Amino acid sequence: MELFSLVHFNILRACVGSWFWIALFLLLHSGKGVYSKYLIGLGSYDITGPAADVNMMGYANTGQIAAGVHLRLRARTFIVAEPQGKRVVFVNLDACMASQLVTIKVLERLKARYGDLYNEKNVAISGIHTHAGPGGYLQYVVYIVTSLGFVRQSFDVLVDGIEKSIIEAHENLSPGSIFVNKGEILDAGVNRSPSGYLNNPAAERSKYKYDVDKEMTLLKFVDDQWGPVGSFNWFATHGTSMSRTNPLISGDNKGAAARFMEDWFEQRRVESISTDEFVSEGIPRRVSNIISDHSEHHELLELAASFQSPPGKPATRTSSVARRVRAALRQPNKPAFVSAFCQSNCGDVSPNVVGAFCIDSGLPCDFNHSTCGGKNELCYGRGPGYPDEFESTRIIGERQFKTAVDLFNKASETLKGKVDYRHAYIDFSKLEVKIPKQGGYEVVKTCPAAMGFGFAAGTTDGPGAFDFKQGDDQGNPFWKLVRNLLKTPGKEQVDCQHPKPILLDTGEMKEPYDWAPSILPIQILRIGQLAILSVPGEFTTMAGRRLRDAVKTVLSAGNNGEIHVVIAGLTNTYSQYVTTFEEYEVQRYEGASTLYGPHTLSGYIQEFKKLASALVHNQEVEPGPQPPDLLNKQISLLTPVVMDATPPGVNFGDVSTDVPQNATFKRGDLVKVVFWSACPRNDLMTEGTFSLVEFLQGKDTWVPAYDDDDFCLRFRWSRPSKFSTRSQATMEWRIPKSATPGVYRIKHFGASKSLFGSIHHFKGSSSAFVVA
């Protein structure tokens, strides 16, 4: 009996155990299951484009030509997958916006490598909207006029970098959890078109405390093995802390915030440090492998004197990569921490939070038209660091960074549920839209793309020229005459776009190829209770609120708990602005740049609700018409680099202006060194650096301390005239207050081009100096 009982008990225990695991498996793999674990992977790669000769993308200012680096640009990616289910990819670019052509070519590469695993449905590529990145990578004419057409280097480095960041994220996939958190930033954005916002219904405006969105939504990624491996957040503010005359490549406030947070996390790994301590000196601290030897000042001077500037010398392509500060600090086999500050509905949100003032009188600009004495050219927004644009960039970046760290540290809500997505292409040039009307519905249509007169006036972040002004709903006879030389809009188009006076009828301009897009992608990525709305443009504050609310209503019908909905702006392609119907009537810059007419937003809401409904009911959607691939039609008028040269007896990399002999600098001082250089277009130094500050460890070991990725170090490139073969590189190092006292030197890496086309890498070094 005892033996029978024991056998019976063991059989029963085995059955119960089996049924437990079977039940758990069914629970986790049913539509109603609770998913506590995903596969998560993050990646990052350098996408810094040509730092010379190329027009910056964003302000459309022909005089804003790249000439150096403030901060290198990166593509940052996360992948989230169910172990046996679907997956989504989100890529955040330190670029002005996504490009349809870049997206097409990235997807082609992913298909060649992974088959159908990654495709247009589950991959989102989004731009942070910095106005300090090289242009020429979009495929439609209107967006590449100022860059003298297509710039292959700008395009290639984006496609390569996005692909490599996705590959890294894919290879890092491992079990982990995702947490979501939300919080407010009250001082990182103001409404730059308040008169447009005020045209929205008072009842609607009364539901909101502010005329811009103040909320940041953050995801925290935690790997089961390694712990926290990254964070992505969405917050709406323009990438226009850097001005329309800035020539240095920069990720602007969001690129700076990402760098600050990644460095903060690495710093936290090696020492206990608070956020306030990290940024207490103005320029955030960064982890370093520098150890002070506490030598006396006179000993340091003697040591520095033994390292005079040597002649420039040849170098290998990998030498600048090998000396990268953060590469030297990475732990083998451990994923690097990746932090992305993504863009949202920033259409009418400026980081120049002090307000808009006339540069001639100092008085506030006209409220309705943002003019000064009738001239838009005199009205500029001021950032918190005015008149220092770098300081404004740092402050707005720091405000986002501090909130992100707080949300990161306090994140406790876990994302749970299915991973899913829906995507469709929509022809916005002729979309039928049902809008509510008393007693029923009315069917209206969107229009072929067109830009209004208010577009040419620019904004308070970057004013336009001539006599254009925001809020112009009539137009000007002279400029209409000029317009008609390109394309005269027909009556149907004029009526469709009303009350916008058409300046450029871009949707109907087809020579030498399409001037503006007609077919646009829309997309929803869902991770548990989070929905990311991928929109191909810049939604204003109220337009974004209406879209989020509409989608949330649909998704909530199929979900018991809280749904988090975020807008990812400037994603997968670019089609300028989207305002509300009421804001469109005012025809400020944003309304004049809403391409497809007054019902554009209603069209988006209608089509996004279809995607949301398909998600809830597990239905497929029609893919829609494919956008064109215009790569083979692109025209480039940018002259290539012919050759580089130096004066007789001078080597590439030689110092032209050195630090003073026996120099001692204090923390906070600016150190400046000028090198004989060559055009940065010869080698983009991808994953490398043009500039480097080194610290003397011991008596003869130089260790990297600061490089292109550091806010305190700037690389400026110049030449005496446009077609000169001679050029110089100026390195400016604002010594951080956290810099270790000791002996330093500044180095420059570059590449020259011979008359026969061969590329030769070089490096140069300043004399050593003391930081006390």
Residues with active-site annotation: 350
Helices (H) and strands (E) in the chain, counts: 18, 37
Sheet holding 52-57, edge to edge: 133-134, 52-57, 65-69, 713-718, 727-734, 670-677, 655-657
158 three-class SS: helix
Cα-based distances in Å from 587 to 389, 457, 474, 475, 596: 29, 11, 10, 11, 13
Closest Cα partner for 135 from 166, 110, 102, 162?
102
Cβ within 8 Å of residue 323, ≥6 positions away? 688, 689, 692, 694, 704, 707, 747, 749
Q: Report how far residue 382's alpha carbon sits from residue 223's, in angstroms, rounded to the nearest whole number.
A: 41
Buried residues in 583-606 as b, exposed as e (16+ CB within 10 A): bbbbbbbbbbbbbbbbbbbbbbbb
Could you write out the DSSP letters of every residue in 296-350?
Answer: -HHHHHHHHHT-PPPPPEE--TTHHHHT-HHHHHPPTTSPPPEEEEE--S-TTEE
539 — phi, psi (to 5°)? -80, 140
Separation CA 135–CA 157 (nearest Å): 12
Cα distances (angstroms) measured from residue 169 to each of 108, 434, 670: 18, 41, 38
Q: Is 117 exposed, middle or buried (0-12, 13-18, 19+ CB in 10 A)?
A: middle
For 769, phi then psi, to 5°, come to -145, 170
Q: For 425, list phi and psi in degrees, rounded to 5.
A: -100, 135
Helix residue spans in 87-151 (DSSP H): 100-114
Residues 6+ apart with CB under 8 A from 410: 181
Q: Residue 440: CB partners within 8 Å, gap ≥ 6?
A: none
For 471, the token pair is 């809020």
The answer for residues whose C-beta is within 8 angstroms of residue 554's C-beta and 6 or more apart is: 609, 612, 613, 616
Measured in Å, how far apart are the chain's first and last C-alpha atoms? 88
